[in-house]
Chains A and B, each alone.
Chain A
Amino acid sequence: MDIKAYIESGILELYVAGQLSENENQEVYELLRQHPELLQEVLEIEAAVLKLTAAASPGAHSFEAIKANLKDANNPKVVKLAPRKTNWLAYTGWAASIALAAGFFWTLNQKNDLEQQLQTADIENRYLETQIETAKSDLATTKNLLDILRDRDIISVPLGGQGNYASSFAKVYWNKSDNTIYLDAEGLPDAPEGKVWQVWSLTLNPLTPTSLGTIDDFNSDTNKIFTMANANESQAFGITLEPEGGSESPTMEQLYTLGVVEVNPS
């Protein structure tokens, strides 16, 4: 190939100016690699153009302004990895602490729930114990009553309703051996406010009432069986409704029930 003619054609000047097609550029590139004199020619053209174009610039500028804009792109692998790693760590840290906090609150909540349940169970337990206790004591009381009523020595005195209070009734079980009466007063209504039931022992000739006491807890008592001491030689028992605190002698208008002790036939 005629190197000189190639140079003289002016193609290398156009090459530097950037006026060749892609194929022509590729061709020149290959030739430059093979022929050092062509490369030398290109370098000189480029140097001359550089000087000419540089002369058209009113002033040179330092690289510093550009350098500041490259920072982001410098060593992208290192710069980009570092914050990503930090973020990952931070996110993990945050996630862990949030999970931990959530777990903690959940546990705390569970604990409170369980404590509450325990307390409830405790209360239920105590309530049940009380019930059992009550049932046991009820049973004992009932058994005791039964024993008393079955006692051979006991005298049963039915008290019938009197006058306006005919529907009332009561029963006295009198154990003479220990001077105790057991009054079964289920047939009496609740005492109105300000009034109490008063139990009297009576001797008939002459008629002498002796108070055995008032039944202050009548309304609240459940089995309506009351135990009273009676050391009298009673011939009859009566129950009257009296003002609170009881009376010296029975108010006869308020005599609800009365019963005479049967002379022991045996």
Chain B
Amino acid sequence: MEVELLVKQFQDKNHSAFEALYGMYSKSIHGIIYNIVKDNAIADEITQDVFIKAWHKSETYSSKKGRFFTWILNIARNAAIDKTRSKAFKQKRQNLSADNFVDIITSHDNLDHSTDAIGIKNFVTQLGEKCKAVIELLYFKGFTQKEASETLQMPIGTIKTRNRNCIQQLREMVL
């Protein structure tokens, strides 16, 4: 499997493999971080830190623990949340906007007009409120099922199946 091979080479400190993985995941990681910090420059900085950190502690990743994307996604969410808790960040941005990923995606000017971008825009605007909330919490904010179920006042099982349905819809739109 291609990704697994790249990851193995990346763990052997191969620059090209790392660059390939960066190409595959950096935009998503940046999107996740931007959704949390709501500041492009800060998101850039954290994204860079996250990939450098991943490079230096690459040996701690194992495919048994999950997908490589999931591993780096976790590092990114933690780094971004740490940032929002820092004193400097709080002073700078007294009130973070309540925008979720949907607001962010629809507010972008899609200059490239790629089908993906248009598809996602269509998808997110058509998403039900419950779907928006579940995806926001589980993927962008890194909430656990339990936390999400408490926040949304939904049974854990419902979170799981609703999430499944929302991702199914997404797949149909963008893949």
A60: Cβ under 8 A from any B Cβ? yes
Interface residues of A (CB under 8 A from B): 8-11, 13-20, 22, 25-26, 28-29, 42, 44-61, 63, 65-67, 69-70, 73-76
Beyond A18-B70, A59-B40, A70-B18, whether A13 also contacts B164 by CB under 8 A is: yes
B73 — nearest CB in chain A belongs to which residue?
Answer: A18
Docked pose: A11 CA to B29 CA in angstroms? 22
Complex contact A56–B104 (CB within 8 A): yes
Taking A9-B164, A26-B65, A55-B31 as known contacts, 6 extra A-B pairs with beta carbons closer than 8 A to each other, sorted by chain A number, are A20-B66, A29-B64, A48-B175, A56-B104, A56-B105, A74-B13
B89: Cβ under 8 A from any A Cβ? no
How many residue pairs at the A-B interface have CB separations less than 8 Å?
158
Beyond A47-B175, A48-B175, whether A53 also contacts B139 by CB under 8 A is: yes
B6: Cβ under 8 A from any A Cβ? no
B40 — nearest CB in chain A belongs to which residue?
Answer: A58
In this complex, which of A8, A52, A59, A74 has the most chain B Cβ atoms within 10 angstroms of its Cβ?
Answer: A52
Docked pose: A9 CA to B116 CA in angstroms? 27
B20 — nearest CB in chain A belongs to which residue?
Answer: A63
A59 — nearest CB in chain B belongs to which residue?
Answer: B40
Complex contact A55–B15 (CB within 8 A): no
Complex contact A50–B69 (CB within 8 A): yes
Interface pairs A-B: 8 shortest CB-CB:
A10-B164, A56-B31, A57-B31, A53-B28, A54-B27, A57-B30, A10-B160, A53-B31
A15 — nearest CB in chain B belongs to which residue?
Answer: B66
B145: Cβ under 8 A from any A Cβ? yes
Q: Which residues of B, 150-171, contact A by the 8 Å Cβ criterion?
A: 160-161, 163-164, 167, 170-171
Chain A contacts for B18, CB-based, 8 A: 70
CB distance from A212 to the nearest CB of B (A): 117
Complex contact B174–A52 (CB within 8 A): yes
B61: Cβ under 8 A from any A Cβ? no
CB distance from A237 to the nearest CB of B (A): 121
B164 — nearest CB in chain A belongs to which residue?
Answer: A10
Docked pose: A26 CA to B135 CA in angstroms? 24
Q: What per-residue 1/0 map shows which CB atoms of B56-76 lie under 8 Å from chain A?
A: 100000011111011101100
B174 — nearest CB in chain A belongs to which residue?
Answer: A51
A77 — nearest CB in chain B belongs to which residue?
Answer: B13
Contacts A/B (CB < 8 Å), 7 sampled: A10-B161, A25-B64, A52-B174, A53-B31, A53-B139, A58-B43, A75-B13
CB distance from A22 to the nearest CB of B (A): 7
